[in-house]
Structure 1
C-alpha cells in the first residue's frame, strides 16, 4: 500500500462499493462522495493525492467539480469515469488535463492499469522533488541526507552533511569560511581555518571515492564557497 489518498466520486452506490473494494489495497485512505458538492467539501477538507471522478453526478457535474479542484490544486491528477463518450465531454476532460478518461462499463484491468500508472507518476515526481543534482553526476537526496555519485552512495560525516545542507540552502551566494563556521557551529568557537580543513578533507575523500579531480563545491578567492 502507498501512503497516498484517493477521493472517489460516484453516485451509483453499488459501483462505488465495488471500486473501493478493488482499490483499497493501493491507498491509505479512500474518501467517497456521491455528488459534486460533497466531493468539493471532501477535497477541501482532506486534500487527497488523486481524484477518481464520475462525470455524471448530481448537484455539480464532474467536469465542473474538476475545474474547481484545479483552481485549488492545478497539479492534482484526475481520472474521469463516464458512461458517455461524447466528443464534447472528452475534449473538456482533455482540457482539464485528465490522466485517464475511462468509459463505463470498464474492466478491472483497465481501472487497475490507470490507477497504477498514476501512482507511479506521483512516486516519480516525489522522488525527483527530493533529489538535487550537481555537476559531474553528483546528487543530493534532501529527505535522506545522502550524497551520491552516479547513483552510488558516498559516506559522509555529520559535519559534511551540515556543510552540504548549508551550501544548498544558500546556493545563490558565496559563503566565507567564517560564515560557514558561524552558521554550522553557532554555539562554538570554530576557527575559519578549521572550516577550510574540513572542506579540504571532504574534497580529498570525494576524489578518492570517485576518481574525480573536480569538486562540486567551488572556492573563489576572496568570495568564499558555494555549490556549483
Structure 2
C-alpha cells in the first residue's frame, strides 16, 4: 500500500512515517497543503492521511479538491480539532475517517486497514484465485491444481499484484513502482521476475491454459 502523509508537525510526521514504514508501507510525505495537493494530483496513492491545520492550504480544502477529482480516494483526517462541527465539516468535505490527536499509532494503523478493506472490498479476501491458481495472502501458500508451488519473495509480490488486478492489465511502470518505488533497476529485472513466475505457474502444467500473458508495449495480466 502506498500512503501519502500531509502533516506540518515534523515530530508527528516522523513518528507516523517511521511506524508505517515498519509495517511495510511505501510512504510519501508533505509538510504543507500545496505540496500535499501537488503530490496527490501527480501520483497515485492507495490512501492519504492528512492534518487539517496546514500552512498554505488547509486539510478541508485539500480533501474537497481531491475528492472532486477522485471521489473514491480514501482519506483519513488527523487533527486536534475535537468539536463536533469540525468532524461534520471534515466528513462533508469527503473525509472517510477522522482521528483526534493525540492518538496511538496502532489505532491509526487499525483505521488504515479498516478503511482499505472497506474501500477496496478486500476484507476476508485472503484467498486469491485465478482459474486453478490460488494464493493464500495470510500464509503465502501458492498452489495450482492442488500442487504446492514455491516462488521467491519478489516474484511472489508481483504475482499477488497481478492476481489482485486480474483480469485487468497491470502496466510495467506500475509493477516497477510497486517493487522498487522511484529507483527501479535495469529494465531486464522485471522481465526476469516475470520469467520466473511463468516457469513456476505455467510451464509445469503443459495441458492447462497459460495464465500469465504479456500485453506488448503495455504490461502483463493474469487470466484464464
Say if 1:9 and 1:52, in contact at 8 Å, map to a contact too. Answer: yes
Are 2:43 and 1:43 aligned?
A: no
1:86 aligns with 2:83: yes
Gaps of 5+ in 2: 134-143, 146-166, 168-224
Moved over 4 A (4+): 125-128
Instruction: Report if aligned partners of 1:54, 1:62 keep a CA contact under 8 Å in 2.
Output: yes
1:64 aligns with 2:61: yes
SS in 2 for 1:74: coil
Q: TM-score, normalised by structure 2?
A: 0.53
Which structure has the bigger radius of gyration?
A: 1
Match of 2:138 in 1: none
Identify the residue that residue 16 of structure 1 maps to in structure 2.
13
How many angstroms apart in 2 are the aligned matches of 1:21 and 1:39?
18
Provide the aligned length of Structure 1 versus Structure 2.
139
Structure 1 residues 27 and 61, CA, compared in 2 at 3 Å: closer, same or farther? farther
Seen in structure 2, the aligned counterparts of structure 1 residues 127 and 113 have a Cα distance that, compared at 3 Å, is closer
Residue 21 of structure 1, CA deviation: 0.9
Q: CA RMSD in A?
A: 3.2
With 54-63 and 95-104 compared, the bigger mean Cα shift is at: 95-104
Separation in structure 1 between the aligned mates of residue 9 and residue 83 of structure 2, nearest angstrom = 20
Paired with 1:97 and 1:44, the residues of 2 have a C-alpha distance of 16
Q: CA deviation at 1:127?
A: 9.3
Is the Cα contact below 8 Å between 1:6 and 1:27 reproduced in 2? no
CA distance in 2, matches of 1:18, 1:91: 27
Aligned position for 1:179: none
Tell me the SS of whatever aligns to 1:106.
coil
CA-CA distance at 1:96 after TM superposition: 3.1
Shift of 1:122: 4.3
Structure-2 separation of matches of 1:88 and 1:66: 16
Any conservation in 1 of the 2:116–2:122 contact (CA below 8 Å)?
no
1:98 aligned to 95, 99, 104, which one? 95
Matched, 1:30 2:30: no
Determine the C-alpha separation between the residues in 1 that align with 2:24 and 2:61. Answer: 25
Distance 1:13 1:92 in 2: 25
Q: Give the secondary-structure state (helix, strand or coil) at the position aligned to 1:24.
A: helix
CA displacement 1:143-184 (0-9 Å, x = unmatched): x2459xxxxxx97xxxxxxxxxxxx9xxxxxxxxxxxxxxxx
Give the CA deviation at 1:71: 1.3
